[in-house]
């Protein structure tokens, strides 16, 4: 160096301006620029106007045999492809290098797909700018290439290189000025000895105002300046490379995160003269990491909420990763290692083939990679069988499966509930299909009948599938005189009441009339609203077939009598006591009763008495002991029995029973209006009977309530129930039914009484 300059080792930044320091540093120590360039996690190259690569750093040369994104080389133009926002290909003349040759600056660049020599596609961000016209390389362009998916790896691969020619030096100067990252250097006094244009632009200062200053001089926060100076001291004192990240708010008020990579620059004697550094704005990465953390937190909360297990699988190596929830499904401890063998050992043997087939389909590149299946697993430790449902998707690369991620949920409780519901439904259908009564269910909103049992065909005389489904069509089969009270009863059920009513239907097939008793009830939904109604309809019409009811307290004797009755081609039903039979008598189909009095203390003579008192037309045949006298028969006949049999052998019993059955059936007459009315009154509760008496006396709701000590509203409710039970459409019909049953007003009864003389 001349007399006007000091030796590099004695260089004193304080003796000259920052700008002059930077210029002299560039001229005298080109190794600084070389070191800075090689520290950058970028590929940097200069191209001539033909698209040939003239100079490059080590990373640029290492990029998969990269020789330049030039549209002028026919062999290489096909390796590059860019796309606009509409996913349309960008023509080669719009690539950054070609635009720079036309004088444009393309920064921060655009992303292009590059096909490596091995056929793999990699995204690279390409920036370009024309070289300064005053340099010897005017007319050429600088191209900066960043591997979008591998910047950190590229930074680690940076190495030392030496460039000796002046044109290379000028190329490096222009390159450092074109790089969007911050490139700078500190001297041994921790002062800025160099800063590229990006760094100067960030501070909004000219080089003369920045070079030669410390971090404290540039108003860095004291704590941050102290920490960064500590890194500088490490590089200067220990000769190591250091890196880190910090948050800084610039003088313009813009705050951001920055990373840094600092290394030593040595003199010829091996001493460390400068600290060379590169920084980059990492705020976007921080924002993405924070967003990822929030997403992971939400995912964890969601998986915990629904008890979802997450797993991943490498189709190439077979490696499995399970969370603790999936291990629990397989009956494994939380720290138990897992692999394919463990997975398949837990799958139920009957489901294993199906699972393997589903896996083969999802990793087939010809498919969409979807995996959805439900199967059973058997716990390794507890042996418990669980039902699980799993979904996932395979990712593909270069025509083969490279990854898989999925989720699993335990659906055992749902499947058990479904099986219980199916079993319950099967039991209900079995009961309904074998019942002689018609069981039906209707949808209130749709006004549709959605279910009928098999008894519909016997009662209506037509197949179930041919019966009307709309309630409006079904009610057309109801006798015109009964439709109004049927509609009123159904309205009460829809309002939430259970109602029992009787009505007639005219069978569509043969026009015959059937008398039905329907017990109808509401079916509430989840929120308590009445969504459906149901009913049990019993056919009260006289049957042609003979129905025999056997009442015997001796089970074996009841079975023997039932076999004898069945041999006479009669339908039979047994009861173990008179009280049990009498409880069921009002809803039984018409028939004859065989009361066995041969057991001690048998109370079966109550049967004919009660049937007569309740106006239930069921002839009773009494079976007495062979040793019984005539008085026993007389008692039975007085009680209301139509016949008394005292036989010792089955053949005689069969013959006599057949004769008695025929006689009692031939003597059965249709129920008269008076008998029907009396039977209906017999179904009223004591309170309902009191209300009816009050109505017959001409009382109002208010006067009846005062007499009975209840409110008029309660009387109104009982009155509606009485009318429903007696199938009365209005008060006049109600009074006619009561009078037909023999009910008189209390006032008229008093007038008919004779005064004592």
The kind and range of the H/E element at 727 are none
State both tokens at 479.
Answer: 């006798």
Would you state the pLDDT for residue 296?
A: 60
Would you state the pLDDT for residue 699?
A: 87
Assess whether pLDDT exceeds 60 at residue 757.
Answer: no
Question: Sorting pLDDT into bands at 50, 70 and 90, what band is 349?
Answer: very high
Is residue 36 within 8 A of residue 278, CB to CB? The reply is yes
Would you state the pLDDT for residue 309?
A: 83
Would you state the pLDDT for residue 669?
A: 45
Residue 123: CB atoms within 10 A of its CB come to 14
Q: Lowest-pLDDT range, 288-292, 566-570, 616-620, 747-751?
A: 747-751
State mean pLDDT over 79-106. 77
Is residue 164 within 8 A of residue 249, CB to CB? The reply is no
Query: Which residue, chain included where needed, has tokens 């394919």?
Result: 340
Please give the C-alpha separations between residue 42 and each of 61, 397, 475, in angstroms, as whole numbers: 11, 26, 86
Assess whether pLDDT exceeds 60 at residue 132.
Answer: no
For the domain made up of 435-539, the CATH class stated in words is: alpha beta
Question: Sorting pLDDT into bands at 50, 70 and 90, what band is 348?
Answer: very high
Q: Where are the beta strands (DSSP E) in 252-384?
A: 255-266, 272-281, 308-313, 320-322, 370-378
Topology of the domain comprising 547-669: Rossmann fold (3.40.50)
Assess whether pLDDT exceeds 50 at residue 204.
Answer: yes
Is residue 670 within 8 A of residue 542, CB to CB? The reply is yes
Question: Sorting pLDDT into bands at 50, 70 and 90, what band is 180?
Answer: low
Q: How far is 664 from 321, CA to CA, in rounded Å?
A: 83
Arithmetic mean of pLDDT over the chain:
76
User: pLDDT digit string (tens) for 703-719?
Assistant: 999 989 999 888 888 88
User: pLDDT digit string (tens) for 406-418?
Assistant: 888 888 888 888 8
Question: Sorting pLDDT into bands at 50, 70 and 90, what band is 603?
Answer: low
CATH entry 3.10.20.90 includes domain 681-752: no
Is residue 666 within 8 A of residue 544, CB to CB? The reply is no
Q: Lowest-pLDDT range, 292-301, 419-428, 617-626?
A: 292-301
Q: Which residues of 597-636 are buried (b: 16+ CB within 10 A; e: fewer)?
A: bbeeebebbbbbbbbeeebbbbbbbbbbeeebeeebbebb
Give SS3 for 123.
strand
Q: How far is 611 from 638, CA to CA, in rounded Å?
A: 13
SS (H, E, C) 635-647: HHHHHCCCEEECC
Q: Do 41-180 and 547-669 show the same overall fold?
A: no
State mean pLDDT over 492-511. 85
Maximum Cα interatomic distance, the chain, rounded to a whole number of Å:
167
For the domain made up of 41-180, the CATH class stated in words is: alpha beta
Residues 6+ apart with CB under 8 A from 370: 362, 391, 392, 393
User: pLDDT digit string (tens) for 443-483?
Assistant: 988 999 998 888 888 888 888 888 888 988 888 889 888 88
Would you state the pLDDT for residue 545?
A: 53
Give the residue with greater pLDDT, 242 vs 119.
242
Would you state the pLDDT for residue 93?
A: 80
Q: How far is 339 from 305, CA to CA, in rounded Å?
A: 27
Please give the C-alpha separations between residue 387 and each of 56, 348, 358, 391, 416, in angstroms, as whole numbers: 61, 10, 17, 14, 9
State mean pLDDT over 749-756. 44
Q: Domain locations in the chain?
A: 41-180, 306-414, 435-539, 547-669, 681-752
State mean pLDDT over 138-150. 70
State mean pLDDT over 434-448. 87
Order of strands, sheet of 370-378, starting from the edge strand that comes earlier in the sequence: 320-322, 308-313, 400-410, 385-397, 370-378
Q: Give the predicted TM-score (pTM) of the model.
A: 0.34
HSE (side-chain half, CA atoms, 13 Å) at 19: 7
Assess whether pLDDT exceeds 70 at residue 167.
Answer: no
Would you state the pLDDT for residue 604?
A: 63
SS (H, E, C) 307-325: CEEEEEECCCCCCEEECHH
Query: Which CATH number does the domain 306-414 belong to among 3.40.640.10, 3.40.190.10, 3.30.450.20, 1.10.8.60?
Result: 3.30.450.20
């Amino acid at each position: 160096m001349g007399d006007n300059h000091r030796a590099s080792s004695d260089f004193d930044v304080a003796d000259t301006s920052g700008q002059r320091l930077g210029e002299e540093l560039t001229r005298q120590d080109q190794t600084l620029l070389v070191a800075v360039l090689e520290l950058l996690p970028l590929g940097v190259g200069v191209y001539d106007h033909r698209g040939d690569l003239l100079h490059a750093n080590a990373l640029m040369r290492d990029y998969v045999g990269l020789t330049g994104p030039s549209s002028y080389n026919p062999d290489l133009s096909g390796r590059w492809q860019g796309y606009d926002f509409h996913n349309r290909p960008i023509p080669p003349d719009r690539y950054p290098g070609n635009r720079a040759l036309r004088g444009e600056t393309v920064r921060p660049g655009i992303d292009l797909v590059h096909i490596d020599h091995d056929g793999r596609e990699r995204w690279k961000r390409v920036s370009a700018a024309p070289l300064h016209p005053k340099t010897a390389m005017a007319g050429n362009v600088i191209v900066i290439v960043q591997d979008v998916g591998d910047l950190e790896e590229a930074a680690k691969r940076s190495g030392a290189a030496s460039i000796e020619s002046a044109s290379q030096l000028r190329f490096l100067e222009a390159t450092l000025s074109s790089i969007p990252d911050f490139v700078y250097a500190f001297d041994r006094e921790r002062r800025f000895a160099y800063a590229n244009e990006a760094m100067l632009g960030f501070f909004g200062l000219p080089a003369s105002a920045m070079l030669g200053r410390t971090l404290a001089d540039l108003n860095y926060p004291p704590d941050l300046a102290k920490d960064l100076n500590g890194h500088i001291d490490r590089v200067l004192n220990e000769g190591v490379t250091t890196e880190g990240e910090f948050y800084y708010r610039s003088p313009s008020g813009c705050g951001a995160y920055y990373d840094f990579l600092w290394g030593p620059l040595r003199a010829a004697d091996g001493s460390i003269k400068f600290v060379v550094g590169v920084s980059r704005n990492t705020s976007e990465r921080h924002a993405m990491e924070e967003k990822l953390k929030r997403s992971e937190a939400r995912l964890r909360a969601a998986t915990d909420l629904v008890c979802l297990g997450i797993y991943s699988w490498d189709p190439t190596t077979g490696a499995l990763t399970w969370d603790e929830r999936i291990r629990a499904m397989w009956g494994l401890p939380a720290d138990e290692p897992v692999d394919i063998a463990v997975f398949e050992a837990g799958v139920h043997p009957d489901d294993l083939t199906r699972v393997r087939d589903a896996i083969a389909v999802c990793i087939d590149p010809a498919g969409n990679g979807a995996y959805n299946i439900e199967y059973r697993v058997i716990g390794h430790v507890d042996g418990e069988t669980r039902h699980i449902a799993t979904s996932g998707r395979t990712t593909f690369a270069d025509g083969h499966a490279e990854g898989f991620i999925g989720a699993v949920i335990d659906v055992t409780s749902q499947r058990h509930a479904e099986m219980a519901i199916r079993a319950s439904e099967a039991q209900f259908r079995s009961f309904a299909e074998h019942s002689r009564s018609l069981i039906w269910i209707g949808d209130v909103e749709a006004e549709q009948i959605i279910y009928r049992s098999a008894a519909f065909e016997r009662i209506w005389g037509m197949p179930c599938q041919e019966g009307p489904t709309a309630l409006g069509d079904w009610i057309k089969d109801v006798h015109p005189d009964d439709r109004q009270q049927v509609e009123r009863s159904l309205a009460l059920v829809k309002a939430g009441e259970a109602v029992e009513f009787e009505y007639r239907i005219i069978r569509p097939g043969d026009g015959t009339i059937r008398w039905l008793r329907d017990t109808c009830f509401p079916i509430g939904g989840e929120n308590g609203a009445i969504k459906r109604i149901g009913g049990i309809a019993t056919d009260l019409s006289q049957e042609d077939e003979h129905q025999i009811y056997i009442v015997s307290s001796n089970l074996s004797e009841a079975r023997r009598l039932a076999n004898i009755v069945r041999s006479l081609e009669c339908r039979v039903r047994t009861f173990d006591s008179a009280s049990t039979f009498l409880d069921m008598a009002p809803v039984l189909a018409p028939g004859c009763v065989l009361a066995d009095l041969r057991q001690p203390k048998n109370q079966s003579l109550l049967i004919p008495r009660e049937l007569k008192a309740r106006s239930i037309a069921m002839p009773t045949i009494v079976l007495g002991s062979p040793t019984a006298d005539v008085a026993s028969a007389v008692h039975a006949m007085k009680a209301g029995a139509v016949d008394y049999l005292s036989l010792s052998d089955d053949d005689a019993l069969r013959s006599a029973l057949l004769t008695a059955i025929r006689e009692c059936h031939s003597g059965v007459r249709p129920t008269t209006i008076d008998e029907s009315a009396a039977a209906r009154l017999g179904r009223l509760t004591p309170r309902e009977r009191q209300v009816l008496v009050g109505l017959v006396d001409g009382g109002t709701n208010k006067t009846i309530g005062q007499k009975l000590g209840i409110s008029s509203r309660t009387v109104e409710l009982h009155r509606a129930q009485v009318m429903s039970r007696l199938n009365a459409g209005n008060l006049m019909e109600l009074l006619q039914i009561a009078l037909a049953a023999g009910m008189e007003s209390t006032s008229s009864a008093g007038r008919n009484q004779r005064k004592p003389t």
